[in-house]
Amino acid sequence: FIPSGKCVTEVNIFEGDLEGYIQIEVEGATAKDVKAFVPLDWFGIEVTDDKRHDNYSLSKFGCKEFFV
């Protein structure tokens, strides 16, 4: 967990079949806090609305396509 202003970023580092996949979640007390959050320089692409990155899809289909 990394404090970032009014939010906290959670870095998820996967192992096993998902090894090499890293996901960052931004948590805030309010939706306004999260919306105002400015991603850090080392963050990758935004995948919030990409269903391939949700827990169900990752567990069922993996993430190999993301390493092309």
Q: What is the pLDDT of residues 27-66, one digit of tens each?
A: 999 999 988 999 888 888 899 899 999 989 999 888 877 7
- Convert 18-53 to b/e letters by CB count within 10 Å (16 or more is b): beebebeebebeeeeeeeebeeeeeeeeeeeeeeeb
Instruction: Judge if pTM exceeds 0.85.
Output: no
pLDDT at residue number 12: 92
**Residue 32's pLDDT is what?**
94
pLDDT of residue 67: 65
